[in-house]
């Protein structure tokens, strides 16, 4: 995806109002983070930040997001954590993802079925040391979408 300053400005009006115009260095920072997300997407394996559609007997959560299983105590990669009602995920320059929201559930990677791709929102800090109110910049990147079904989803 080739983001422009104009697109980022449209996505971040409160940020621009609080901190001034987005600059080429901010755009380049966002493009680097976007490239990390899209490289994971191209591998076609479940990854942090991906969307997962959680389907239960009587309830579906179409916009759940995945975070690494380490938050559940699983360092093996066998399990990911899925947040049923996520905020926009924060993504660090190294691609690690942190999601607020809940409730959370453990999802076995082997139980996920591919369901396509779509753009999804992320945010990251404008620049190192710019960690203040409205200091984050939101952007969209292409992620994989997965489906997970369980009788325990309600």
- Walk across the sheet containing 97-98 and list its strands: 97-98, 90-91, 113-125, 136-149, 51-55, 60-68, 79-83, 104-108
| pLDDT tier for residue 113 given thresholds of 50, 70 and 90 | very high
Mean pLDDT (the chain) is: 89
What does the pLDDT average to over 105-119?
A: 94
Residue among 106, 110, 112, 109 nearest 148 (CA):
112
Q: What is the largest CA-CA distance in the chain?
A: 49
Q: What is the pLDDT of residue 73?
A: 58
Give the percent of the chain with pLDDT over 90.
Answer: 68
């Amino acid at each position: 995806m080739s983001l422009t300053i104009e697109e980022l400005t449209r996505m971040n009006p409160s940020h621009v109002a609080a901190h001034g115009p987005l600059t080429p260095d901010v755009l380049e920072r966002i493009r680097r983070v976007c490239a990390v997300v899209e490289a994971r997407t191209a591998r076609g394996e479940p990854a942090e930040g991906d969307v997962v559609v959680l389907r239960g007997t009587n309830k579906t959560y179409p916009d759940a997001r995945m975070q690494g299983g380490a938050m559940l105590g699983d360092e093996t990669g066998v399990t990911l954590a899925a947040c049923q009602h996520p905020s926009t995920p924060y993504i660090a320059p190294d691609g690690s993802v942190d999601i607020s929201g809940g409730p959370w559930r453990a999802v076995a990677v082997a139980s996920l079925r591919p369901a396509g791709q779509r753009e999804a929102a992320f945010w990251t800090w404008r620049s190192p040391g710019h960690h203040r109110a409205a200091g984050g910049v939101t952007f969209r990147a292409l992620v994989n979408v997965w489906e997970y079904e369980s009788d325990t989803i309600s």
